[in-house]
Structures are given as structure tokens and as C-alpha cells.
């Protein structure tokens, strides 16, 4: 069998040779689990990756999309929890915060701080949906759409904070 | 002597044709007949799951992905709705859409960073509880308090 293999592989155009493809007996999920249990068991060191790779705008925007998503979701959950737990009504607490506030700049800043992650996640979300239908994958397009998202985010947040 | 056999015959077994599009395989004629009796003589271990091998191919993951995108678009449409038609209908729809969008989004985050059967199960259970409490809290707020649309309006009016 080896000799036959040797005979064939010496003539192949590429390095790898598949006479016949045989599907493996395990599922991809099982293979993944096997990898991770072995990986954790051996406690393998991790090569430096995000600590050494040069950051790019698309990279930063991608993790910011995730970051704003997690932050917004946590905020909504915290709000929902507060609604269940706190005894008084929403207008009561709103007036309470308003009476404690440190001036109009504080209010404008809080509006900006709330609007910014919502705006960013929304606009970048639309950018993601464009990718999902297959549009805008060329590298210059990625950067261009990214800058548009950043610009729209800043403008929208300032606009909403000024209302 | 040597016979040129196109790998397209292998492709029908479900291996990605992309790998072998332009390759031709040269193998001695003598072996050809034997292959008919025993097709898996030399094999490379690959993950190929053509539909005729898998018993029940599930489209669950694919449908989940599509569902996530549709929900995102629906949520996008709710923003102008909330502005122009505030009220209980939008309040409860927003509560449901926001919670589900967040639940699925956090689910993807967990899938990316949590590994190991037990940890995955625990993390997903925790997420499910969080999402349930979130939805309950938002519905409670909509019913007993001013509601989401009014809450944002009040916040912005100050």
C-alpha cells in the first residue's frame, strides 16, 4: 500500500494527495471538544497575539461592536432588574437624579454617553448586515464604510445630546 | 501503464471540489481494477459530510443565523416606530426584540470564549436566566410603570 501511495504521490501536481476521501467517524463538535480538553489538560502556553499584532481600524471597530453590544445588553438587564426590585416608579427616580445633577453639562454628557454606544452599535450593525448580503468586502470599502460609521456615530450622538 | 484519472470521480463523494479543481491524478492502470473491490485503500482523513452520509443533517445553525439577521432588521425598524407611534404595542415588541437580540448576541460571545462541555452548559444556563429576568423586568416596567417609549421620552425631556 505504501509503495502504491509512493507511486502516486510522486506524480501528483500538489503536495497533498487524496486517492479517496473518507469521512471521519466523529463530528466537528466532538473534534472541537477533544481539542479543548487536551489543550486545557496540557495547560499549553498561548502565543502572544493581540499583544503584538498591529491594531487596525477594522479590528478596533469589530471589538467595539462587541463591546457596545455587551455593554448595552448589560445596561438593559440592569434596568429590568431595577424595575423589578426598586419600590418607587421611574419618574420618581428620574426626578431624584435630576435634583442631584451637577448642571446642564452633566445632563448633556449623560445623553451623549447613552446615545453613543446605541448609535455606534446601530450603524456598525447596518454595516454588518451589508456584509451579510455580500456587499463591501474589498479592503478600501471596509475602511471607507468604517469611517462613515464613526462619523455618523459622532454626529448622531452630538445631535441627540443637544436635543 | 499510467492512466490519468480526473479527481472529479472523487468529488462525487462529497469532497470540496475547490481543492482538486485542476488536479489530475496519475495512477498505474494495474491498481484500477482492484479499487472497484476495495475503494478505500489509500485514504486521507478529512471532514466530508455529504448528505448521503449524514443521517439527519440539521439546518438548525443556519436557520439560527438567518433568524438573528431578520431580528436585527426588525429591531432596526422599531426605532422609528417607537419615535412616531409610542405606546404599549411598541413597548412590548421592543421588550421582546431587545431581549432576544441581546440573548442571541451574548450567546455568540459565550460560544466564542467559553470552552468545555460543562462550562458551556453552565454559561448558557446563566444567560437564559438573565434573559428571562430581563424580559420579565421589561414587561413589568411596561405594565406597572410608564413603559419603554415614555421612559426614553422623559429621560430626554429633562
B141 touching A (Cβ < 8 Å): yes
Contact between B27 and A107 using a beta-carbon 8 Å cutoff: no
* Alpha-carbon gap, residue B138 to B158, rounded angstroms: 22
Which pLDDT tens digit goes with each residue over A42-77?
999 989 999 999 999 999 999 999 999 999 999 999
In DSSP notation, B44-105 reads: EEE----TTT-SS---HHHHHHHHHHHHHHHHHHHHHHHHHS-SHHHHHHHHHHHHHHHHHH
**pLDDT of A17 above 70:** no
Q: pTM score, two decimals?
A: 0.74
Question: By the 8 A CB rule, do A1 and B42 touch?
Answer: yes
Residues of B in contact with A17 (CB under 8 A): 25, 42, 44
Which range of residues forms the domain containing residue A88? 57-162
* Average pLDDT value over all residues in chain B: 79
Phi, psi of B113 (to 5 degrees): -110, -15
Helix H or strand E encompassing A21:
strand A20-23
How much is the average pLDDT of B103-122?
94
* Alpha-carbon gap, residue A82 to A80, rounded angstroms: 5
CATH of domain B60-157: 1.20.1300.10
Number of domains forming the structure of chain A? 1
Contact between B7 and A18 using a beta-carbon 8 Å cutoff: yes
Which pLDDT tens digit goes with each residue over B133-157?
999 999 999 999 999 999 999 999 8
How much is the average pLDDT of B107-120?
92
At B16 the pLDDT is 47
- Is B115 strand, coil or helix? coil
Residue ranges of domains in chain B: 1-46, 60-157
Question: By the 8 A CB rule, do A94 and B154 touch?
Answer: yes
Nearest neighbour of A94 by CB, restricted to B19, B23, B158: B158
Say yes or no: ipTM exceeds 0.90: no
Which pLDDT tens digit goes with each residue over B44-90?
566 555 555 555 678 999 999 999 999 999 999 999 999 999 999 99
At B10 the pLDDT is 45
CATH number at A68 reads 1.20.1300.10
Q: How many CA atoms lie within 13 A of B6 on its CB side?
A: 7
Residue A99 placed within a domain: yes
Amino acid at each position: 500500500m505504501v509503495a502504491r501511495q509512493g507511486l502516486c504521490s510522486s506524480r501528483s501536481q500538489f503536495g497533498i494527495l487524496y486517492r479517496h476521501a473518507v469521512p471521519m467517524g466523529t463530528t466537528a463538535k466532538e473534534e472541537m471538544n477533544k481539542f479543548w480538553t487536551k489543550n486545557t489538560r496540557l495547560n499549553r502556553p498561548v502565543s502572544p497575539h493581540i499583544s503584538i499584532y498591529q491594531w487596525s481600524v477594522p479590528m478596533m471597530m469589530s471589538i467595539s461592536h462587541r463591546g457596545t453590544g455587551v455593554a448595552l445588553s448589560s445596561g438593559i438587564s440592569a434596568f429590568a432588574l431595577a424595575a423589578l426590585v426598586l419600590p418607587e416608579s421611574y419618574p420618581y427616580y428620574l426626578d431624584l437624579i435630576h435634583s442631584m445633577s451637577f448642571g446642564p453639562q452633566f445632563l448633556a454628557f449623560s445623553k451623549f454617553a447613552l446615545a453613543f454606544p446605541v448609535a455606534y452599535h446601530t450603524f456598525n450593525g447596518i454595516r454588518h448586515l451589508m456584509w451579510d448580503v455580500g456587499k463591501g468586502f474589498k479592503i478600501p470599502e471596509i475602511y471607507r464604510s468604517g469611517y462613515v460609521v464613526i462619523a455618523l456615530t459622532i454626529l448622531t450622538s452630538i445631535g441627540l445630546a443637544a436635543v | 501503464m499510467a492512466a490519468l484519472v480526473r479527481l472529479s470521480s472523487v468529488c462525487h463523494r462529497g469532497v470540496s471540489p475547490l481543492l482538486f479543481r485542476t488536479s489530475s491524478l496519475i495512477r498505474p492502470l494495474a491498481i484500477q481494477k482492484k479499487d472497484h473491490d476495495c475503494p478505500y485503500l489509500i485514504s486521507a482523513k478529512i471532514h466530508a459530510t455529504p448528505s448521503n452520509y449524514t443521517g439527519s443533517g440539521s439546518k438548525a445553525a443556519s436557520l439560527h443565523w438567518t433568524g438573528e439577521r431578520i431580528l436585527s432588521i426588525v429591531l432596526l425598524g422599531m426605532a422609528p416606530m417607537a419615535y412616531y407611534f409610542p405606546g404599549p404595542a411598541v413597548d412590548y415588541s421592543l421588550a421582546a426584540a431587545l431581549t432576544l437580540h441581546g440573548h442571541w448576541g451574548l450567546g455568540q460571545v459565550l460560544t466564542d470564549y467559553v470552552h468545555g462541555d460543562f462550562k458551556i452548559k453552565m454559561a448558557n444556563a446563566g444567560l437564559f436566566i438573565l434573559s428571562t429576568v430581563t424580559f420579565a423586568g421589561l414587561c413589568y416596567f411596561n405594565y406597572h410603570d410608564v413603559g419603554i417609549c415614555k421612559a426614553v421620552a422623559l429621560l430626554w425631556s429633562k
